[in-house]
């Protein structure tokens, strides 16, 4: 089909008809009718992708007969009226109307409905998404993701929960497209990758001279995302002080840049995600409960790769096809790959497949797999009366307390894991099962401790 819809607006109020036509002209070619005769003639003789119908035309409730004609031709129909009587709503849906909207509320949802209709007809949201972009055969997950499309009316927020590497960004982009967005108005930020001191400016922008180094005005992502989608990955990494400011923006649809006194209006759909236990963070007062209620309009939980092992061979095949060099994985190696727990989920699997593709030997067997996959770790056990802690650890705890002991263990674990994996932060974080923000904060403290010890030795 063409990139424009053919839209018929049937409305006797000229001001409102022109207003709706102006609102929707970016999505299609608008035809207007203000009476029954004109509307009937247009419906019978021309094709329309969408028909908007007012119930009352020049004092006569003719909208239902027009709706019957439109539905008889299979036209996508929307009732747009001031009448909220339940019997009218019931009658319209029995005839087969697709949406029943009141005029005072229609502007909040009409554009979303038209965008969705345009996407459906254009076939932008390909049915093979789960075979070519987000690879899964898990029917429960597929059904849940598809069902969200029908709950996305307006700018309802979406919260995606799941471990690191499960593909939350890919799903966020899919939801953006389902909401009628284009690639140009999807604004994404991994919050945990931005230092706290720069995060406020990144989100809200700043005015020249508002702080040292602010040598020019900067637009924040909240402004850039206007009329589109803002995706905040790892939203739980936002400090409480900035959480409050973000909440105010979401509620009032405007904000003040850092150092600014003029409000900036913005309106976007917020999609956020986290790999952390957001409910626990709320209980610990690390995440605002009022912000949680604002961002959880729709919640999707993506299961880990180890809980849907049937997807592992599909993903391996998918990633191998994308590699410039093809290799063959024998049954023994494939069994090991399927049996592995994949703490880094899809991201880790992709990395391993790319590593195998680069090996000199084109026939991949168990001996070619990374050690962490072939050496299945046994769960730590305490046999008999054997102590899990060392004497040194016990003495440290008795002298400084358990809190300091646990802090030291955290710092040492991060340091040693980084050394084991040649300072590969992603690999170390995945092995330890830490979020990006959690790993970052522990590593910062570990480096600070090292610097302090160096200072004492000098």
Do the beta carbons of residue 411 and residue 446 sit within 8 Å? yes
Lowest mean pLDDT among 83-87, 147-151, 194-198: 147-151
Which token pair is 400? Answer: 């400084």
pLDDT for residue 53 is more than 50 = yes
Residue 127 has pLDDT above 70, yes or no: no
Q: What is the pLDDT of residue 85?
A: 87
Q: Is the pLDDT of residue 385 over 50?
A: no
Q: In sequence order, what are the residues at sequence separation of 6 or more whose Cβ sits closer than 8 angstroms to the Cβ of residue 179? A: 112, 115, 116, 152, 229, 269
Rounded to whole angstroms, how far apart are CA atoms 309 and 201?
42
User: What pLDDT score was predicted for residue 388?
Assistant: 65
- pLDDT class for 458, splitting at 50, 70, 90? low
Q: Examine the pLDDT at 382 and tell me if it is beyond 60.
A: no
Band of pLDDT at residue 183, cut at 50, 70 and 90? low
CA–CA dist 231, 265 (Å, integer) = 18
Comparing CA positions, the residue from 138, 196, 195 lying closest to residue 166 is: 138
Beta partners for residue 329, in sequence order: 364
Tell me, what's the pLDDT at 380? 43
Report pLDDT for 442.
85
Burial class (CB in 10 A: 0-12, 13-18, 19+), 142: middle
Higher pLDDT, 380 or 73: 73
The predicted pLDDT at position 296 comes to 93
Each residue of 293-310: pLDDT tens digit?
999 999 999 999 999 999
Q: What is the pLDDT of residues 338-367, one digit of tens each?
A: 999 998 999 999 999 998 888 878 888 998
Instruction: Give the per-residue pLDDT at 182.
Output: 66
Q: To which H or E segment does residue 5 belong? A: strand 5-10
- Give the model confidence (pLDDT) of 208-253 as tens digits: 988 888 889 999 999 999 988 999 999 999 999 999 999 999 999 9
DSSP per-residue string spanning 381-447: ---TT--SS-HHHHHHHHHH-HHHHHHHHHHHHHHHHHHHTTT-HHHHHHHHT--HHHHHHHHHHHH
pTM of the model: 0.67
The average confidence (pLDDT) of the chain is: 86
Of the chain, the percentage scoring pLDDT greater than 70 comes to: 92
The pLDDT confidence band at residue 14, using thresholds 50, 70 and 90, is very high
- Yes or no: say if 323 and 353 are a contact pair by the CB < 8 Å rule: yes
pLDDT digits (tens, 9 = 90+) for 84-124: 889 999 999 999 999 999 888 787 788 888 888 877 776 55
d(CA 202, CA 343): 30
Residue 9 or 390, more confident: 9
Strands 205-206 and 186-190: unpaired
Q: Above 60 in pLDDT, residue 146?
A: yes
């Amino acid at each position: 089909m063409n990139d424009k819809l053919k839209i018929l607006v049937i409305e006797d109020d000229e001001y409102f008809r022109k207003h709706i036509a102006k609102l929707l002209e970016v999505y299609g070619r608008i035809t207007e009718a203000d009476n029954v005769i004109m509307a009937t003639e247009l419906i019978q003789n021309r094709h329309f992708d969408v028909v908007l119908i007012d119930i009352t035309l020049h004092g006569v409730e003719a909208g239902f007969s027009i709706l019957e004609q439109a539905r008889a031709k299979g036209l996508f129909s929307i009732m747009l009226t001031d009448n909220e009587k339940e019997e009218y709503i019931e009658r319209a849906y029995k005839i087969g109307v697709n949406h029943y909207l009141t005029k005072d509320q229609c502007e909040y949802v009409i554009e979303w409905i038209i965008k969705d209709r345009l996407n459906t007809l254009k076939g932008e949201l390909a049915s093979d998404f789960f075979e070519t972009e987000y690879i899964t055969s898990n029917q429960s997950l597929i059904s849940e993701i598809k069902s969200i499309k029908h709950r996305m009316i307006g700018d309802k927020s979406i919260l995606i929960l799941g471990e690191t590497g499960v593909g939350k960004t890919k799903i966020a982009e899919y939801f953006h497209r389902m909401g009628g967005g284009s690639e140009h108005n999807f604004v994404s930020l991994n919050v945990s990758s931005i230092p706290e001191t720069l995060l406020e400016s990144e989100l809200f922008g700043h005015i020249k001279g508002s702080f040292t180094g602010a040598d020019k005005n900067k637009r924040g992502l909240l402004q850039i995302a206007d009329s589109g989608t803002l995706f905040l990955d790892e939203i739980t990494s936002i400090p409480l002080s900035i959480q409050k400011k973000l909440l105010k923006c979401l509620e009032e649809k405007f904000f003040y840049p850092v150092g600014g006194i003029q409000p900036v209006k913005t309106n976007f759909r917020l999609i956020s995600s986290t790999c952390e236990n957001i409910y626990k963070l709320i209980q610990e007062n690390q995440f605002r409960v009022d912000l949680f209620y604002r961002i959880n309009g729709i919640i999707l939980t993506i299961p880990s790769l180890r809980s849907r092992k049937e997807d592992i061979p599909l993903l391996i095949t998918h990633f191998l096809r994308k590699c410039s060099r093809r290799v063959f994985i024998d049954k023994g190696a494939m069994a090991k790959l399927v049996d592995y727990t994949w703490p880094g989920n899809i991201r880790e699997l992709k990395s391993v497949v790319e590593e195998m593709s680069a090996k000199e030997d084109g026939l991949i067997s168990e001996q070619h797999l990374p050690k962490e996959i072939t050496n299945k770790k046994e769960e730590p056990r305490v046999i008999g009366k054997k102590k899990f802690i060392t004497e040194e650890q016990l003495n440290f705890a008795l002298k400084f307390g358990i809190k300091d002991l646990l802090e030291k263990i955290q710092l040492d674990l991060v340091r040693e894991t980084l050394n084991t994996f040649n300072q590969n932060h992603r690999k170390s974080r995945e092995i330890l099962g830490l979020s990006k923000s959690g790993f970052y904060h522990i590593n910062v403290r570990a480096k600070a401790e090292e610097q302090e010890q160096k200072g004492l030795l000098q």
